[in-house]
Amino acid sequence: MKKIVIYARYSSDRQTEQSIEGQLRVCHEYAERNDYVVVHEYIDRALSGTTDRRPAFLQMIEDSKKKEFEYVLVYQLDRFARNRYDSANYKMKLKKNGVRVLSARENISDDASGILMESVLEGMAEYYSAELSQKVKRGVRESLIKGYYTGGQVTYGYKIEDKKWKIDEEHAEFVRQAFNEYAVGEKATEIADHLNAQGSRTTTGKKWNGNAISKMLHNQRYMGIEKFGGEIFADVIPPIVEEKLWQVVNGMMEHYRRNYKKDKYDPYFLTGKIFCGYCGESVIAEAGSSHLGTRYKYYKCHTKKVKGKACLLRNYRKHELEQLIIDKTKKYILTPSKIEEIAHMVVDRYNSEISNNVVLKCLEKELRQINNKINSLVKNMEQGIVLLALRETLYKLENDRADIQLKIAEEKSKFDKPLNFEDVKNFISLFASKDYDDVFERNEFFNRFIKKVLLFNDKIIVIVRGGKGADNELAINNDELYAKRILEKFEKKETSENNLENKNGSFDNSGSHFCENDKILKEKEAELDNFVHQPPRGGELGIRTPGSLHYNGFQDRRFRPLSQLSE
């Protein structure tokens, strides 16, 4: 006995499980009459046949590749698809897998008349679907023109009387309160707390929260606007708040949303690229707050943070480290000569791929093979050998040829024309001139240029993209980073002393400012002694830490110990 699967579908909430049960009953009776064995049922509920986004339907198409059934049985053809393109497309896929579509209600034969009948039925189903959609839209539009309620959930603050929208004053007061409070600076969560405290609840009986309040404030119905099919209907719903107030509130929400994203979006750009020079583990995100509530972000060794074990690497402040790498990379790596080198490499590689595109060559070879087969079949047919199998094979080959030609066109479109060296050079030069204050530009910089970063307490080794060897490695001495931070602390301290002096009146400077340079020097030495313990040079786990690398772009200048910073 031949194996068969049943596909059933109903398209809207107005149809019920009874619709599915009726389809299945008729299909099972058909299978029994024709000695078919039903091995599975695929059912989509409340999904239109005009779309192919149907989970059970797509699963059935996928399962057909397993060759576990020979037929797909539907109640009638419009259950399979109401779109002729989708119908033909998926029937072709099933046919390639040796599966044919049958209809329990429509007796369609395999001959020419059956093919014609199937085409007519599918065309009628598509016409019926399009006509029904137009009628529904036309009916909704006419109802809106007359000011009638057209269905769906009733918005909070309104009620329906005689098929018309009316303001429900009992709840509308809470809507006005929400708009007025937001307009004077209250947050959505605070407004939700106020409404909950007064006993107000949403249309579903739940307590208000920030999201529910935001949706309320965004709803255009509260200023008397209803939209349908791209049209605006202003005389259907009575407004609860003035349009001016609605615009002000939504302008404030949009402004807050933009600033929130700008302020909050601050990712750790070096994640996945940065490693500890001592233990070899990755360096990951860390954050903390001071006793004053100031938020600080760091890069911390995975060994210390996650494993809880000791590691010599200190924490690095996120913004300081990222900015230092950007500045030094721009200054010593993105030099004119290096930019030319990168541009040459990109142009050579890209243009080489165009001339030696393996994918394109394979597609063109496949196209030639298909053309040869088609030409052979055509010659046979010209000699009088005309069989149904030959026609089907020719039809399949022509479809395959069309697919291959489309893929070839897509592949060629990826490589429009060869790259020009000057264009690429100018493009890369733009990256050397940017300030990278914008977070998205910073993200682009690290993704394009930084391959790997090794952290030590006294130096940072940056490996950039674009090649191998010392020319693509940048060693940064951390003395500059430490000195900058210490000087910033000294400036804050000096500013504090000056403010105190101004407050208490002038006094003799000879004792407190005896030698500014000596004082800075002593401050730096004290800070460095307490700031970090000097680790032994080198690393573990095979990580190369040369004693002599490019120091800020200059060869043969060794790193200095921190104790020699003031010398």
CATH of residue 199: 3.90.1750.20
- Number of helices and strands (H, E) in the chain? 18, 15
| One domain for residues 18 and 107 | yes
| One domain for residues 69 and 12 | yes
- For the question of whether the overall pTM of this predicted structure is more than 0.85, the answer is no
Task: List the CATH number of the domain containing 16.
Answer: 3.40.50.1390
| One domain for residues 46 and 109 | yes
Total Cβ atoms within 10 A of residue 402: 11
> Is residue 386 a part of any domain in this protein?
yes
The pLDDT of residue 508: 44
Q: What is the pLDDT of residues 88-125, one digit of tens each?
A: 678 878 888 899 888 888 765 554 444 544 455 445 55
Confidence of residue 362 (pLDDT cuts 50, 70, 90): confident
Most confident of 148-152, 305-309, 439-443: 305-309
pLDDT of 314 higher than 80:
yes
Domain edge (last residue) among 421, 451, 479 = 421
Confidence of residue 485 (pLDDT cuts 50, 70, 90): low
Report which of residues 21 and 134 the model is more confident about: 21
| One domain for residues 176 and 110 | no
The pLDDT of residue 253: 87
Place of tokens 């349009």: 243
The pLDDT of residue 111: 47
> Is residue 89 a part of any domain in this protein?
yes
Place of tokens 């202003």: 234
> Is residue 299 a part of any domain in this protein?
no
Place of tokens 């002038």: 506
> Is residue 222 a part of any domain in this protein?
yes
Alpha helices in 184-242 (DSSP H): 188-197, 210-218
As a whole number, mean pLDDT of residues 238-256 equals 90
Most confident of 41-55, 127-141, 267-281: 267-281
| One domain for residues 7 and 121 | yes
Alpha helices in 383-460 (DSSP H): 388-414, 421-433, 439-449
CB contact set of 229 (below 8 Å; sequence gap of 6+): 137, 140, 141
Rounded CA gap, 178 and 195, in Å?
A: 8
| One domain for residues 96 and 134 | yes
Pull the structure tokens for residue 204: 């579903």
Instruction: Give the lowest-confidence range in 37-41, 155-159, 437-441, 539-543.
Output: 539-543
Range of the domain at 94: 2-141
Pull the structure tokens for residue 31: 């299978």
The number of distinct structural domains making up the chain is 3
The pLDDT of residue 510: 39
> Is residue 560 a part of any domain in this protein?
no
Domain edge (last residue) among 264, 283, 308 = 264
Are 263 and 298 contacting, i.e. CB atoms less than 8 angstroms apart? Answer: no
Place of tokens 């496949």: 366
| One domain for residues 184 and 212 | yes
The pLDDT of residue 279: 94
Determine the longest span between alpha carbons in the chain, in angstroms. Answer: 119
Instruction: Give the lowest-confidence range in 107-111, 356-360, 503-507.
Output: 503-507
Report which of residues 99 and 508 the model is more confident about: 99
Consecutive H or E run containing 464: strand 459-464
Rounded CA gap, 155 and 219, in Å?
A: 9
Q: What is the pLDDT of residues 154-189, one digit of tens each?
A: 999 999 998 899 999 999 999 999 999 998 888 899
The pLDDT of residue 148: 86
The pLDDT of residue 438: 79
Domain edge (last residue) among 234, 264, 294 = 264
| One domain for residues 364 and 411 | yes
| One domain for residues 90 and 127 | yes
Q: How many CA atoms lie within 13 A of 491 on its CB side?
A: 6
> Is residue 565 a part of any domain in this protein?
no
| One domain for residues 98 and 176 | no
| One domain for residues 137 and 162 | no
Rounded CA gap, 308 and 300, in Å?
A: 12
| One domain for residues 87 and 215 | no
> Is residue 556 a part of any domain in this protein?
no
> Is residue 388 a part of any domain in this protein?
yes
DSSP code at position 466: S
Phi, psi of 159 (to 5 degrees): -145, 160
